[in-house]
């Protein structure tokens, strides 16, 4: 295998805990909470896909991201890894149909539910119930109420 500037203990721990297989290579160690292999050595955090890339290709990813062709977060098989940017990662996710629906209440930043949006549309009456009044009641801006009522948002 090529030389790597990673500490020998990091490489050894990686090699002890990786499960080499015909398909994806599994990981027996800890993960980062999102399924990506992770290990800690002398206060430093290491992602196993980055360790594998550097170990097998002899060059670290630097500030680049190590992405998966297999979309399997714990996988560290070198043939399943490639370098990219956050933009490449987003495009890869989109091309594979894994973006998900982030519209309406599925958006983590949404302040309203679909039911509230429907209520706003039903309740708005020009010059009777104003954008301003609805915005105060629902805790969003008058502009957001306008977008909802005119179906430019939601």
**pLDDT tens digits, residue range 10-46?**
999 999 999 998 899 999 999 998 899 999 999 999 9
Looking at the structure, do residues 49 and 67 belong to the same domain, yes or no? Answer: yes
35 in any annotated domain:
yes
Looking at the structure, do residues 116 and 85 belong to the same domain, yes or no? Answer: no
Looking at the structure, do residues 40 and 79 belong to the same domain, yes or no? Answer: yes
154 in any annotated domain:
no
**Residues ≥6 apart with Cβ < 8 Å to 83:** 53, 61, 64, 65, 66, 67
Q: pTM for this structure?
A: 0.63
Burial (CB count within 10 angstroms: exposed 0-12, middle 13-18, buried 19+), residue 145: buried
34 in any annotated domain:
yes
User: Cα 68 to chain center, whole Å?
Assistant: 13
pLDDT at 2 over 70: no
Q: What is the pLDDT of residue 81?
A: 96
pLDDT tens digits, residue range 75-91? 999 999 999 999 999 89
Looking at the structure, do residues 22 and 42 belong to the same domain, yes or no? Answer: yes
Confidence category of residue 102, pLDDT binned at 50, 70, 90: low
First vs last Cα of the chain: how many Å apart?
A: 54
Q: What is the pLDDT of residue 154?
A: 80
Residue 108: which domain range?
104-149
Higher pLDDT, 105 or 121: 121
């Amino acid at each position: 295998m090529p030389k790597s500037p990673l500490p020998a203990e990091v490489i050894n721990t990686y090699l002890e805990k990786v499960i080499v297989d015909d398909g994806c290579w599994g990981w027996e160690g800890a993960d980062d909470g999102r399924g990506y292999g992770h290990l800690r050595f002398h206060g430093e955090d290491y992602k196993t896909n980055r360790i594998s890339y550097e170990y097998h290709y002899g060059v670290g990813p630097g500030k680049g991201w190590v992405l998966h062709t297999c979309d399997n977060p714990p996988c560290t098989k070198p043939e399943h890894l490639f370098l990219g940017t956050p933009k490449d990662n987003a495009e890869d996710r989109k091309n594979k149909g894994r973006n998900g629906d982030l519209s309406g209440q599925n958006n983590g930043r949404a302040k309203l539910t679909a039911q509230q949006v429907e209520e706003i549309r039903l309740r708005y009456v020009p010059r009777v119930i104003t954008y301003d009044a609805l915005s105060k009641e629902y805790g969003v801006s008058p502009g957001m109420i306008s977008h909802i009522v005119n179906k430019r948002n939601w």
